[in-house]
Every structure is written in structure tokens, then in C-alpha cells.
Amino acid sequence: MSETHPVPARVSEGAVGPVKSLADWREVRQRSADDPDGFWLGVTKERLAWATEPTRGLDGSYHTIMDGPIAWFADGRLNITVSCLDRHAASQPDKVAILWEGDDPSEVKRITYRELHEEVSRAANALKALGLQKGERAIIYMGMVPEAAIAMLACARIGAIHSVVFGGFSAEALRDRVRDCGAEIVITQDEGLRGGKPIPLKAVTDQALEGERGVKKVLVYRRTGNFVGWTEGRDVWWQDIVPAQSADCPATIVDAEHPLFILYTSGSTGKPKGVVHTCGGYLTYASFTHATVFDLRPDDVYACVADVGWITGHSYIVYGPLANGCTTLMFESIPTHPDAGRYWDMVERHGITIFYTAPTAIRALAAKGDEHVTRYDRSSLRVLGTVGEPINPDAWRWYHSVVGEGRCNIVDTWWQTETGGIAISPVAPATPTKPGSATLPMPGIFPVLMDAEGRRMQGPGEGRLCIEFPWPGQARTVWGDHPRFVATYFEHYPGMYFTGDGCRRDADGYHWITGRVDDVINVSGHRMGTAEFESALVSVEAVAEAGVVGYPHPIKGQGVYAYIVLQDGYTAGDAIEAEMHAACRTLIGAHAKVDLFQFVPGLPKTRSGKVMRRILRKVAEGQPEALGDTSTLADPSVVEAIVAGAKV
Ligand code: WTA
């Protein structure tokens, strides 16, 4: 019998969300199964402000997806910023929408719904003045300042499509994304600020745009005021153009399926995919899951400390919370600045009730000692969330008992860039939890486990996680490459969406995510493709071949292990390692760091030349005894050398 934690009474009492108890969960789920169209039409009409209400639910299916994307609410029309701003500016103008905490704890800004509505309207008018039109793309390359959220909403206001690029990505990575989406404009800052260190966002943008003709304008928010390079005629200061605009900008009404944003994410190839989310379905799902999972209450002070550069920031800092009219925190800094008590200091100062972070941060903070937590008053907390990677039971227990003092429910939320919102998770007031389990699916989500032979598994067991029916928040396509979308997600198991994750289901029907089963590694919750690392590494002249896998890392979840085959005439050593580090930094970004290099005489390959990654993985996981059959290898002696020189 595994350890189960009941929902604390103070979390279930007074619940207001769409699901208040397990009985509710069963009932709502049944409705979503019996009549998905009716269910989701009901949800969207209740939660969003439509200009023309939809009468249609789902169009298309996973069986027809090769012919074109599915659609939800196809005959509805709306502008999602009306749901996020106008209606709250009218009904609760003085409520704080964005509570911003800067890098330095003394820097706090409170932006009310009235102010946010006005500021987004001004920014939208500025984008129009700069020539951005409906359907055109804007890249947003910023740190965690309110203007990043304002820029996203301003694009949505005029029907433009944004693509936020995480501020840690390099100039090369930024340029790839600018090109892939055909951006007209880049919105950035002079510098970001994290942990007291400036991040050269404008300088990287300049480098990325060197020789690029497509981008007509660069809008630059002045954050630090330090000197930056300037291209006359192209660059415009935010502070020069936005405040001068009218605070009235009528929302451009678009079809439900108009794209809202593109977010690039790593997959099995070296080229990141531009995952496309559309307006009506995405916002419906973000709003519904945010209200449901956290049991959002009117007085909640909600804090998700992710970055807007990732999907968590899109769905659960900006779109879900604002659609739900709540106070959402934006945090510019890092959890250890000025010390490891920063999160709990914020909890005390702002009276945070819902706190949402990642396992990597939880593990890192647990390692710093409980006194950083216990010296602050955390009695306001009710729900503690985690996302991004599997959480190990020890970290879960620390979060539950030290941070939450046993008074909060923990919601271990499993989802992906592609799912748009939380798909498997406890519902705070309803679901008893087990440390390390994402527990039960959301209404409308029907997970299926597939065995090695591609058969659907019944009852308890471990297999590959698929989802059987479409839901409104699901990604619609890969920008400019629908065949890739179909091939990546829908061809492995016909009639199902394949998540790329492994999962175990226990006798209670609870889900335990075991991690990626494809060539994606999850380092500190940052999703990266092994192929991206490999192509960066082989760009170094001395490197002939590279094989990259993940391995268990006590803080980061997974570390990056690189097997390197050198060109003839080169000798392994610090100089080459330094060059390889630099290549990853330049071609991917500062967050893409190899933890361990092992120089090997060759990579294990089949006789047809395919790298046997399973062997690389087992050695990196410290399980050389579990290599299995190596008789099909072209050169078995390579394996002996790999095992002998293993770094773990
Ligand atoms: C992993 C982040 C276990 C998973 C929202 C997934 C998780 C990938 C969890 C998506 C969780 C996310 N437990 N694993 N609670 N949440 N993952 O697209 O492998 O950045 O496929 O979206 O993170 O990462 P992405």
C-alpha cells in the first residue's frame, strides 16, 4: 500500500472551483466523456467572453488529422484579451492583476486590471503604429518584466501572433526562430536582470538580426538603462512610443481558430518545433484548468514562478490567471537571490495562497536547509503546485511538510507545451495525493497506456502515455509543417496523441510519469533535444561524433552526458571541453550545459550504422550490467571501452 495523503480540511472547505470533491470529479468527468462537445461548449460559454458564441464543439479527429488540424468552437468569434482584460477592468478595475516583484526584493509594482487594460491598449496601438498587422508574427525576447506580458496581450489585442523566446537562448537560437516564423518585429529589453546580473537581451537580439531583412522593427523596453547598440530606423524605445498612444484600442475580433501564439519546443530532431496554439480552445482550457486544479478563489494571491519563455508562463502566469480575473505574480529573479529564503519571503510579504514551482527548485532549496523556509510565515499558503518533470517522493515530502507544514494540498501537474494546459493532476480540494504521482486526469482528458507491442493496456501497468480524444487546449499544428506535427504525435499509435512520456498506472488508477521515452532530456525542467546538443557539439572542429543522453542528477532531475569521438590527431582535454561548452552556449543558450563528457573511441552502432542509444543511456545511468544484447553491434569492443571509462 503506497503512502496516501488525504486533502487537508482547510483546502477542501469552502471550495469554489468547478470540481470541489472526488464525487464532483467523477460526475464532471462522466459528462465530459458522454458529451464532449456539449461539455466544452458549456465550459467556454461560462468562462470566456465571446463576440459570437460558438455552436460547434470539435471538428475533425485524430483519424483525419493528416488532412488538416482539428478545430474547436469553429463558428465562434472573439478576442481573448476581452476575456483577460476588458471584462475585469469593468467589474473589478482596482483589483491587482499583475503583482510584479523585481530582481531586488524592494522593487514591487502592482498593476490593476484598469491599468493593465490601458497599458495593453497603448502597447497594441504602438504595435499597429510600427506596422504590425493581424496574422503577422512578433518575437518577444524579454525577461520577467510586466511588459513581457503586456507585449503578449498587445499582440493578441490586434490579432498578431506572438512567439516568446526564453531570454536564455543564444543569438543563433533566436535567429532560427525569427526565421522559422517569419517575424516582422522583435520586442526586447535593453537588458534583463536576474540575481543581480544583467542579461544582454538587446545585444543578443542585434547579433541575431545581423543581415536579417525580414524584421522591420525592434521595440526595446528600457529596464536597466545601460548603454546598448542602436540601429536607426529599426529600433524604437518602448518608453518613447507606448506611453504616447491612446489607451483605447478596440479589440480585433478573430475566429476561434486564429493562432494566438507559436512556442518553440525541443523534440527528437535538431530543429525545434513551433507549436501552434489557437485563441478560443487554448484560453478555454487554460482558464478551466487553472480554476479547477488550484480551486481558484476570489481573494487568492497566486504565484507561478516560471518564466514566460516556457508554456507554464503562458498558460499559468498570463493567460489562465488573467482570464480568471485573479492576481498573478510575476517574478523577475531567481530562488536564491539574495538568499535561499526568497520564495518564502515573498509568500509572507504578499500573503501568497497558491504557489507553483518546479521540482528542480524544490530540490535545490531543500538542500539549503529548512531554516530558510521556517523563518517566514507561510500560513497563507493553501495549494502548492509542481510542474516540469517527475518529482521524487523525498522532494515532494519536503514541499508538503516543511514548506506547507502539512496544511496544503500538493498538486503535481503533468502536462506539456503541446497539451496547452494541465492534463493529469490532483484537483486541490478533491484529490488525495501520493508523493510522486500526478494522480488523475482532468475532465476531458482520456489517458491510455500502450505496451511495447502497441496494444492498449488495461488496469495497472507501465507503458507509453497516449491520450485518446482531442480537447480544446491541444496544440493544433507545427508552424509551417503540419506533416511533422502528424508524424511526431499521431503516427506512432493511430487514433491517439502520443505524449513522448512513459507512465505507470497503479491499482487506484493513479498516474506516475516515468519520464521521456524519446530523445528529449529534461534538465531542471528545461526541455532539450539530444539532437540539438549533438549538432552543437559536432560543430567543434575536433569533434567527429557526439552521442548525448540524460542521466539521473540529484538537483536538476536529469543531467546531460555527452560521449565524444574526436577527429584523428586531436587529444582529449580541457581545451576541447571548453570549446564544446562554448559551442552549446553559442548555438543553443546558457541553459544548455553538458554536465559530463566522456571521450570514447567510437559510438556503439548497429551494422546498419544506427547509434544504439540504449547502451549510451544504460552506461550513463550507472547500469552497465543491464546493457542487454550487444551482439548486433558492428564493433562490440567499443562498448567495453565505454563501460571502462564511464563517468558515473
Ligand atoms: C515533463 C512543461 C512528470 C514530461 C509544462 C513532459 C512532467 C515534459 C511533469 C513537457 C510532471 C511536465 N511530472 N513529468 N508533473 N510536468 N513533465 O513542454 O516529460 O516544457 O513531456 O511543458 O515535461 O515539458 P514542456
Q: What are phi and psi of 442, to 5 degrees?
A: -65, 155
Residue nearest to atom 6 of ligand 1 (CA): 416
Cα–Cα distance, 187 to 151 (Å, whole number): 8
Same domain, 56 and 95: yes
Residue nearest to atom 3 of ligand 1 (CA): 390
The answer to whether position 2 is within a domain reads no
Ligand 1 within 6 A of CB of 438: yes
**Secondary structure (3-state) at 240:** helix
With the most atoms of ligand 1 within 8 angstroms of its CB, the residue from 418, 513, 528 to mutate is 513
**Secondary structure (3-state) at 596:** strand
The answer to whether position 92 is within a domain reads yes
The answer to whether position 78 is within a domain reads yes
Let me know: does 293 contact 428? Beta carbons within 8 Å.
yes
CA of 245 to the centre of ligand 1 (A): 40
The answer to whether residue 364 scores a pLDDT higher than 90 is yes
What is the tens place of the pLDDT at every residue in 381-420?
999 999 999 999 999 999 999 999 999 999 999 999 999 9
Greater pLDDT, 588 or 607: 588
CA of 587 to the centre of ligand 1 (A): 24
The answer to whether residue 187 scores a pLDDT higher than 70 is yes
CA of 533 to the centre of ligand 1 (A): 20
The answer to whether position 301 is within a domain reads yes
- Which atom of ligand 1 lies closest to the CA of 386? 15
What CATH number did the domain enclosing 627 receive?
3.30.300.30
Cα–Cα distance, 229 to 243 (Å, whole number): 23
- Which atom of ligand 1 lies closest to the CA of 391? 13
CA of 415 to the centre of ligand 1 (A): 5
pLDDT at 606: 86
Stretch 354-365: mean pLDDT, rounded? 97
The last residue of a domain, from among 457, 474, 503: 503
Same domain, 318 and 443: yes
Let me know: does 597 contact 633? Beta carbons within 8 Å.
no
pLDDT at 382: 98
What is the tens place of the pLDDT at every residue in 422-471?
999 999 999 999 999 999 999 999 999 999 899 999 999 999 999 999 99
The answer to whether position 1 is within a domain reads no
Query: In residues, how long is the chain?
Result: 648
CA of 19 to the centre of ligand 1 (A): 23
Nine cell digits for residue 310:
516556457
**Secondary structure (3-state) at 512:** strand
The answer to whether position 378 is within a domain reads yes
Stretch 87-93: mean pLDDT, rounded? 98
Ligand 1 within 6 A of CB of 501: yes
pLDDT at 13: 97
- Which atom of ligand 1 lies closest to the CA of 527? 20
What is the tens place of the pLDDT at every residue in 524-562?
989 999 999 999 999 999 999 999 999 999 999 999 999
Same domain, 633 and 600: yes
- Which atom of ligand 1 lies closest to the CA of 526? 20
Ligand 1 within 6 A of CB of 362: no
pLDDT at 619: 95
Same domain, 448 and 532: no
Burial degree of 579 (CB within 10 A; 0-12, 13-18, 19+)? middle
With the most atoms of ligand 1 within 8 angstroms of its CB, the residue from 517, 522, 530 to mutate is 522
Nine cell digits for residue 381:
499558503
The last residue of a domain, from among 503, 532, 548: 503
- In eight-state DSSP terms, residue 589 is B
Residue nearest to atom 13 of ligand 1 (CA): 390
Burial degree of 246 (CB within 10 A; 0-12, 13-18, 19+)? exposed
What is the tens place of the pLDDT at every residue in 589-638?
999 999 999 999 999 998 888 888 889 999 999 998 888 888 888 888 89
Stretch 153-164: mean pLDDT, rounded? 99
Domain housing 614:
515-644
Ligand 1 within 6 A of CB of 415: yes
Same domain, 431 and 460: yes
If you write DSSP's letter for every residue of 110-123 in order, what string do you get? EEEHHHHHHHHHHH
Same domain, 498 and 519: no
- Which atom of ligand 1 lies closest to the CA of 424? 15
The answer to whether position 125 is within a domain reads yes
pLDDT at 424: 98
Same domain, 28 and 123: yes
Same domain, 542 and 562: yes
Same domain, 418 and 547: no
What CATH number did the domain enclosing 284 receive?
3.40.50.12780
Same domain, 228 and 375: yes
pLDDT at 648: 86
Same domain, 169 and 29: yes
The answer to whether position 359 is within a domain reads yes
Same domain, 254 and 297: yes
What is the tens place of the pLDDT at every residue in 48-76?
999 999 999 999 999 999 999 999 999 99
Ligand 1 within 6 A of CB of 416: yes
> Helix %, strand %, coil % for the chain, to 5?
30, 25, 45
The last residue of a domain, from among 474, 503, 532: 503
Residue nearest to atom 11 of ligand 1 (CA): 414
Q: How many domains does the chain have?
A: 2
Cα–Cα distance, 36 to 45 (Å, whole number): 14
The answer to whether residue 1 scores a pLDDT higher than 60 is no
